[in-house]
């Protein structure tokens, strides 16, 4: 493998993986009511607090991934988060045939796979943790 790809590949991967978390976390703060409504729709208590907590987690995970700081534990936490929210919000509608939810479920599965790769192989040399 070329040294350039070995150095830039993990960095670009971390940036791409974090983009979803940045956007989703930002949306939970910008449209808290919509996120809380979705949480309430699943029968969970403390929906507004849950929306803020989810947004804070997503933004924190995104920042850790971008900088490669504590990237392995952040990736494992993001993996667990993706499994949880995928089951809670996307699994049942997808099984009932909602094609948009199938797409969300598959997207989350792909991102979760990227998180497992990051957790197992590390953030690369262009990170604060350096591997």
φ, ψ for residue 120, nearest 5 deg? -85, -30
Query: What would the two tokens of residue 102 be?
Result: 């199938």
In this prediction the pTM is 0.92
| Per-residue model confidence (pLDDT) at position 6 | 84
Mean pLDDT by 10 residues, the chain (131 residues): 87 96 97 94 94 98 97 97 95 92 96 97 89 55
- CA angle, corner 28, sides to 23 and 122, nearest 5? 45
Task: Using alpha carbons, select from 36, 81, 76 the residue that is nearest to residue 57.
Answer: 81
- pLDDT for res 5: 87
Dig out the tokens for 1 from the structure: 């493998």
């Amino acid at each position: 493998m070329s040294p350039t790809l070995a150095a830039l590949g993990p960095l670009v991967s971390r940036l791409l993986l974090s983009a979803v978390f940045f956007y989703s976390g930002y949306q939970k703060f910008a449209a808290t009511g919509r996120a809380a409504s979705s949480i309430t729709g699943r029968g969970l208590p403390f929906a507004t607090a849950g929306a803020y907590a989810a947004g804070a987690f997503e933004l924190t995970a995104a920042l850790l991934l971008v900088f490669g700081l504590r990237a392995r534990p952040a990736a494992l936490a993001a993996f667990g988060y993706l499994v949880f929210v995928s089951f809670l919000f996307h699994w049942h509608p997808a099984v009932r045939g909602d094609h948009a939810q199938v797409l969300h479920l598959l997207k989350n599965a792909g991102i979760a796979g990227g998180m497992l790769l990051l957790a197992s192989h590390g953030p690369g040399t262009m990170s604060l943790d350096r591997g």
